[in-house]
């Protein structure tokens, strides 16, 4: 099947299955039309895929070779340049088509700026949204655009979906007030712990959509992201949390967003690629 809004691009290297028969389906969304500081997240999907060439497909921690799993990479979304609303709609329609084609396929999005997560959530209809992010992303509008990357958590909360945000260290008073009013749980990076994570996520209804804004990590791990912030989480902090989610919650989808840069072998992309492989490994292990 050809998806209406996708096109060929650099794809993951090892032998992959067709989406009809896949357990995992990867879609790149090379959009950075509302980026407010450092442009370049449009190159994220390509940079992540290229960075996987540096990695072993065998994941030591889980005893699984992800090259032996049924994974399909359907390429990149054909984005609407500068139009976040239309790009979000295309993400939604593509994932709806995927679920119609193969209801059992687990979707993974590679970004691209964070605004596009809204399209995935609209298509997959989770009951909860768990996100690792340096920012609250609860603005009602930014630069007169309600679909700006700084508004994605606000738009998702308006769908009636429960939210928990981890690794935060930036936000406005308006966003903090909105979170309190709407009962949105969030944990500052300084206060983050695995126990705090489990305490907030355990009661959330399933299925859960899981999103990692790469800027949740400290800057040395992710120097090329749209809006970097000092004082972030470590790699193993996030991996441990993802392991718990995979073991204890039914997941609707997963994405890695805000990977930027302009050179192959970029540190930010290498961090994202490693996280991608770990997630597939933990979810695909026997």
Does residue 32 contact residue 216 with C-beta atoms inside 8 Å?
A: no
Residues 23 and 69: their CA atoms lie apart, in Å, by 8
**How many CB atoms neighbour CB 130 within 10 A?**
25
Tokens of 199: 């305490």
Residues 157 and 182: their CA atoms lie apart, in Å, by 8
Average pLDDT, the chain: 95
Q: What are phi and psi of 3, to 5 degrees?
A: -90, 135
Residues 55 and 67: their CA atoms lie apart, in Å, by 11
Residue 261 has pLDDT above 70, yes or no: yes
Does residue 277 contact residue 14 with C-beta atoms inside 8 Å?
A: no
| pLDDT tens digits, one per residue of 101-112 | 999 999 999 999
Residue in 262, 169, 172, 263 with CA at minimum distance from that of residue 218:
169
Question: With pLDDT > 90 as the criterion, what percentage of the chain qualifies?
Answer: 87
Residue 83 has pLDDT above 90, yes or no: yes
Amino acid 2: pLDDT: 63
Residues 212 and 258: their CA atoms lie apart, in Å, by 9
Residues 99 and 38: their CA atoms lie apart, in Å, by 34
Q: Kindly list the structural domains of the chain, giving each domain's residue range(s) and its CATH number in brackets, ordered by start.
A: 6-284 (3.40.800.10)
Q: Where are the alpha helices (DSSP H) in 11-54?
A: 44-51
More confident residue, 154 or 263: 154
Residues 6+ apart with CB under 8 A from 195: none
pTM score of the predicted model: 0.95
């Amino acid at each position: 099947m050809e998806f209406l809004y996708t096109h060929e691009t650099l794809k993951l290297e090892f032998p992959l299955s067709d989406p009809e028969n896949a357990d995992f389906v990867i879609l790149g969304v090379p959009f950075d039309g509302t980026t407010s500081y450092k442009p370049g997240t449009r190159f994220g999907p390509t940079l992540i895929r290229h960075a996987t060439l540096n990695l072993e497909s065998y994941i030591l921690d889980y005893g699984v070779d992800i090259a032996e799993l049924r994974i399909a990479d359907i390429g990149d979304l054909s984005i609407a340049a500068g139009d976040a609303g239309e790009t979000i709609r295309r993400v939604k329609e593509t994932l709806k088509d995927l679920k119609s084609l193969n209801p059992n396929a687990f979707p993974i999005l590679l970004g691209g700026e964070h605004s596009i997560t809204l399209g995935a959530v609209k298509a997959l209809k989770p009951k909860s949204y768990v996100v690792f992010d340096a920012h609250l992303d609860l603005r009602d509008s930014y630069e007169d655009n309600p679909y700006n990357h700084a508004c994605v958590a606000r738009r998702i909360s308006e769908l009636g979906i429960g939210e928990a945000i981890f690794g935060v260290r930036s936000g406005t008073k308006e966003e903090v007030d909105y979170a309190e009013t709407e009962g949105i749980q969030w944990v500052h990076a300084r206060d983050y712990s695995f126990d705090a994570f489990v305490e907030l996520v355990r009661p959330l209804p399933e299925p859960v959509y899981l999103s990692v804004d790469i800027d949740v990590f400290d800057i040395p791990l992710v120097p090329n992201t749209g809006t970097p912030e000092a004082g972030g989480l470590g790699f193993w902090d996030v991996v441990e949390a993802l392991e718990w989610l995979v073991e204890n919650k039914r997941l609707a989808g997963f994405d890695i967003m805000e990977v930027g840069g302009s050179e192959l072998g970029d540190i930010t992309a290498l961090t994202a690629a490693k996280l991608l492989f770990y997630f597939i490994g933990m979810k695909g292990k026997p």
